[in-house]
Amino acid sequence: MAHDSPHEPAHESARLPRGAIVGHALDDGRPVILTRHLPVVVAGITGSGKTWTATRIVAQWVREGVQATGWDPHRGTGEGLADRLADLGLSLPAECLNGSMPSEVVAQSERLLAELRRREQAARATQSVLRPRLLLVIDEFPALLLQLERQEREALLRALKLLQWTGRKLGITWLIVGQSWTREATGTARLVRDSGVIVLHRVHPGEAQAITGLRRSDLPVDPSSLEPGCALVLGVESDPVAVRVPPPPARTSGGLPGGLPGGLPEDFRPPLPGGLPEVGEVDPAEIVEWFLAGRNVGVIARRLSGRDGGRAYQAASAAVQEAIRRELRRLRDR
Read off the pLDDT band of 8 (50, 70, 90).
very low
Longest dimension (CA), the chain: 63
Torsion of CA 180, 81, 200, 1, to 10 degrees: 160
Spatial CA neighbour of 20 closest among 69, 50, 48, 60:
60
Nearest-5° Cα angle at 137, 22 to 254: 70
Spatial CA neighbour of 299 closest among 47, 43, 41:
47
SS3 content of the chain, % helix, strand, coil (to 5): 45, 15, 40
pLDDT tens digits, one per residue of 273-314: 334 444 455 566 677 777 776 666 766 776 677 665 566 666
CA distance 114 to 130: 14
Looking at the structure, give the CATH architecture of the domain made up of residues 19-244.
3-Layer(aba) Sandwich (3.40)
Let me know: does 123 contact 116? Beta carbons within 8 Å.
no
- pLDDT at 101 > cutoff 50: yes
Side-chain-side CA neighbours of 18 within 13 Å: the count stands at 7
Instruction: For residue 190, give the 3-state DSSP assignment.
Output: helix
pLDDT tens digits, one per residue of 128-175: 656 788 999 999 898 888 888 889 989 999 999 888 888 878 889 999
- pLDDT at 252 > cutoff 50: no
Spatial CA neighbour of 1 closest among 22, 12, 21, 16:
16
pLDDT of residue 169: 82
pLDDT of residue 16: 47
Let me know: does 258 contact 80? Beta carbons within 8 Å.
no
- pLDDT at 190 > cutoff 90: no
> Which residue type does 179 have?
Q
- One DSSP character per residue, 72-110 reads -TTTTTTSSHHHHHHHTT-PPPTTTEE-S-THHHHHHHH
pLDDT of residue 186: 56
pLDDT tens digits, one per residue of 212-230: 888 888 888 898 899 999 9
Q: Where are the beta strands (DSSP E) in 179-290?
A: 197-200, 230-234, 241-244
pLDDT of residue 279: 47
Rounded to the nearest 5°, which phi and psi values hold at 79? -110, -15
Instruction: For residue 24, give the 3-state DSSP assignment.
Output: strand
- pLDDT at 14 > cutoff 60: no
> Which residue type does 196 have?
G
Sign of the Cα pseudo-torsion (268, 244, 137, 180, in order):
negative
User: Measured between alpha carbons, how far is residue 209 from residues 5, 218, 219 in Å?
Assistant: 31, 10, 10
Question: Over the range 129-159, which residues count as b (16 or more CB within 10 Å of their CB) and which as e?
Answer: ebeebbbbbbbbbbbbbbbbeeebbebbbeb
pLDDT of residue 41: 93
Instruction: For residue 1, give the 3-state DSSP assignment.
Output: coil
pLDDT of residue 265: 35
